[in-house]
A and B are shown apart, each in its own frame.
Chain A
Amino acid sequence: DAGVIQSPRHEVTEMGQEVTLRCKPISGHNSLFWYRQTMMRGLELLIYFNNNVPIDDSGMPEDRFSAKMPNASFSTLKIQPSEPRDSAVYFCASSSEGVNEKLFFGSGTQLSVL
């Protein structure tokens, strides 16, 4: 199994540009999570999908952030327009059906907004 696959691995962009991060969860996993990691705030849950439906997006910082899951094998996190304070490592994770299931994380996307 290839695990959770994220792309790109690194992204450098200028303030105001649109950024799209991509994630392919582990095949057969029903739940998908987007986390953001910064030195200031640690690991924060942004949004959680179950069976492709957004369940909890209370962690999404503001309207500039949006996430979609058009099918069971693909999700995107978009920031438009990006700002320097969005610079962070963004992780995607997936888990099996159920409430108390361990999450498997991807390698993350290191985003730098200049």
Chain B
Amino acid sequence: GESVGLHLPTLSVQEGDNSIINCAYSNSASDYFIWYKQESGKGPQFIIDIRSNMDKRQGQRVTVLLNKTVKHLSLQIAATQPGDSAVYFCAENWANTGFQKLVFGTGTRLLVSP
């Protein structure tokens, strides 16, 4: 039969809009979170990170929000550009393993129309 792959949720926005990509993480003990951007044919590229003692961190055009109560992470991209089109992954570090174990979510595809 036909194999079923991961169905990536897709967010379509117009150039100049603000984008919000959401992520639910699994491990309540995770203490470090990263957002990665992956363009076609390339490896994941670091965007921004946040530690569990913070609930908000801002970078250039990007903001990450962390809500530990509901285990939710979001990435906000201001004034989205066509070059932002990519798949975005959140990753959590399972700190209770005692070492670095970065576990990735399934990803969200962002499509930016000019």
Contacts and interface: CB of A to CB of B under 8 A. Distances in A.
Interface of A: 4, 31, 33, 38-43, 45, 48, 50, 55-56, 91, 93, 95, 98-108
Interface of B: 3-6, 31-32, 34, 36, 41-46, 49, 51, 89, 93, 95, 97, 99-107
B46 A39 contact: no
Contacts of B45: 105
Contacts of A42: 6, 104-107
B36 to A, nearest CB: 8
Contact of B102 (A4, A38, A98, A103): A103
B49 A102 contact: yes
Nearest to B99: A55
A3 to B, nearest CB: 9
A31 B100 CA distance: 9
A91 B43 contact: yes
A41 B36 CA distance: 17
B89 A43 contact: yes
Contact of B43 (A55, A102, A107): A107
B43 to A, nearest CB: 3
B35 to A, nearest CB: 10
Contacts of B31: 100
Most chain B CB within 10 A, of A41, A42, A93, A108, is at A42
| Max chain A C-beta neighbours (<10 A), residue from B43, B89, B95, B97 | B43
Given A39-B5, A39-B6, A105-B44, A99 B34 contact: no
Nearest to B33: A100
Given A100-B31, A100-B51, A105 B102 contact: no
Contacts of A91: 43-44
Given A42-B104, A50-B99, A100 B93 contact: yes
A47 to B, nearest CB: 11
Contacts of B105: 42
29 contacts: A4-B43, A38-B5, A39-B5, A39-B6, A40-B4, A40-B5, A42-B6, A42-B104, A43-B89, A43-B104, A45-B103, A48-B100, A50-B99, A50-B100, A91-B44, A99-B32, A99-B93, A99-B99, A100-B51, A100-B93, A102-B34, A102-B46, A103-B102, A105-B36, A105-B43, A105-B44, A105-B45, A107-B43, A108-B42
